[in-house]
Amino acid sequence: MIKKIKELEKISRLLDSGQSQRDKWNAEVLDYSNKFINKLNTSKAYYASEENGKDIYDLDITEQPTKLSTLLESTSKNIDQVGINPASGGHMGYIPGGGLYPSALGDYIAAVNNRYAGVFFAAPGAVRLENMLIRWMCKLMGYPETSTGNLTSGGSIANLVAIVTARESHNLKARDFDKAVIYLSEQAHHSIQKAIRIAGLSEAHIRYIPLDAGLRLSVNELEKAITEDKENDLIPFFINASFGTTNTGAIDPVAPIAAIAKKHKLWFHVDAAYGGFFKLVSEMSSKFEGIEKADSITLDPHKTLFFTFRNWYDPYERQGETLKSLSFLSRLYARHA
C-alpha cells in the first residue's frame, strides 16, 4: 500500500508547476488583464455578433493540453468581445459592472490558498475574517450585537433564506400554507417569487400591494390588505420591501412598513440587494430610517460596492463557534436573533 501511495504521489506532483512556469503564466495573464483594463475607455458597451462566441467550442475539453496564450485569445474573442461589456464606462443597463481590481486580487489569493472554511478548526482565521465582515455589515445597518447572518451565493438565495426563516419563525406547517399570506409589490425582484415556490409556499396567497405616486409600496393599502386577510381567517406572516427596485430604484417606505409589521406581528424582510450599501453615503441617511427594525435584510456587495462575483456554500454552527465559508466578496443575509 505504501509503495502504491508513493507511486501515486509522483504522478500527482506533476500537477504542481514550478516557479518558472508560474512566472510565465502570471506574466501572460497579467498582460491579458492589463490590456483589457487599459482599453476600457475606448471599449464598446455592447458587441453585436452573429457568431455569439460559438468558436469557444473549438476549445472543448480533451486529453491534450492547450497553450495558455490560445485560451486567452479565445477568451478575448469569444467572451470579452461578445454581448454586454459591463466594465465599460458606457454601460448603464443594469447594476453589475466592472469589479474593483483589488477584489480580483482577493479572489486570486482565496483561490491560491484554497482554504476550507466550512469548519472552524480547519481555518479559524478565515472564519473569523468572514465573521468580521458579517459584523461590519450588521453594524452598518444598525443591527444589534445579537444579530447574525451568513454569506450566500447571491441575493436570490439570501431572499430564499429570509422566507424560509420567516416560515419557521411563524411555525407554519404544510396544513397552513393555503391560508398563509405574503405581501409584496409588483416591483419586487423576481427572486422573491422563485423563493416562495422553492420554500414550498406555492399555495400561499400572494398579495401584490399597489404602488403610491412614487412607485413605492403603498403603506395604506398594505395595512388594509392585512386587516382584511385577518378578518377572513387567513394567516398574514411575511412582508417584503424593496430598498431600490431593479426597474426604477424606488425605495419602499421602510419605517412605516416596519411599524405595520410589528403591530400585526408579521416578519418584515428588506431586499436591499440594490441600494443597501448606499448607507455609506451620508446624504442618503434619511432613506434608511427604520432599516434596523427589519427582521432580515439582503445586501449585495457585487452591486453598489463593485466587488467581483464569488460563490461559496452556506454555513452552520458547531461548538459555540459560527462556522462560515470565507469570502471577501459574497452577499449577506442578516437577521435579528
Closest CA to 207 of 238, 176, 232, 233: 238
As a whole number, mean pLDDT of residues 108-134 equals: 91
The whole-number pLDDT of residue 16 equals 87
- pLDDT tens for residues 87-107? 888 887 776 677 889 988 988
As a whole number, mean pLDDT of residues 10-14 equals: 87
Q: Is pLDDT at 28 greater than 80 in this prediction?
A: yes
If one compares 96 and 4, the residue with the highest pLDDT of the two is 4
The whole-number pLDDT of residue 121 equals 93
Are the C-beta atoms of 254 and 290 separated by less than 8 Å?
A: yes
Closest CA to 234 of 196, 173, 167, 178: 178
Mean pLDDT of the residues in the chain: 88
- At 330, the pLDDT band (50, 70, 90 cuts) reads very low
Domain ranges of the chain: 23-93, 118-335
As a whole number, mean pLDDT of residues 312-326 equals: 31
Closest CA to 161 of 336, 337, 335: 335
| Cα 323 from Cα 118, distance rounded (Å) | 6
Reading the block at residue 114, the C-alpha cell is: 484554497
The whole-number pLDDT of residue 96 equals 66
Sequence-distant (6+) residues with CB within 8 A of 50 are none
Q: Is pLDDT at 322 greater than 70 in this prediction?
A: no
The whole-number pLDDT of residue 324 equals 30
Q: Give φ, ψ of 131 to 5 degrees.
A: -65, -35
SS3 212: coil
Q: Is pLDDT at 301 greater than 90 in this prediction?
A: no
The whole-number pLDDT of residue 305 equals 85
What percent of the chain is predicted at pLDDT more than 90? 68
Q: Is pLDDT at 326 greater than 50 in this prediction?
A: no
Instruction: For domain 118-335, give the fold.
Output: Aspartate Aminotransferase; domain 2 (3.40.640)
Highest mean pLDDT pick, 51-55, 251-255, 301-305: 251-255
Q: Is pLDDT at 64 greater than 60 in this prediction?
A: yes
The whole-number pLDDT of residue 88 equals 87
- At 323, the pLDDT band (50, 70, 90 cuts) reads very low
Sequence-distant (6+) residues with CB within 8 A of 267 are 162, 165, 166, 169, 170, 237, 238, 239, 261, 295, 296
As a whole number, mean pLDDT of residues 148-176 equals: 93
As a whole number, mean pLDDT of residues 136-145 equals: 93
Q: Is pLDDT at 316 greater than 70 in this prediction?
A: no
As a whole number, mean pLDDT of residues 151-173 equals: 93
The whole-number pLDDT of residue 179 equals 98
Pick from 71-85, 128-142, 308-322: least confident: 308-322
The whole-number pLDDT of residue 310 equals 57
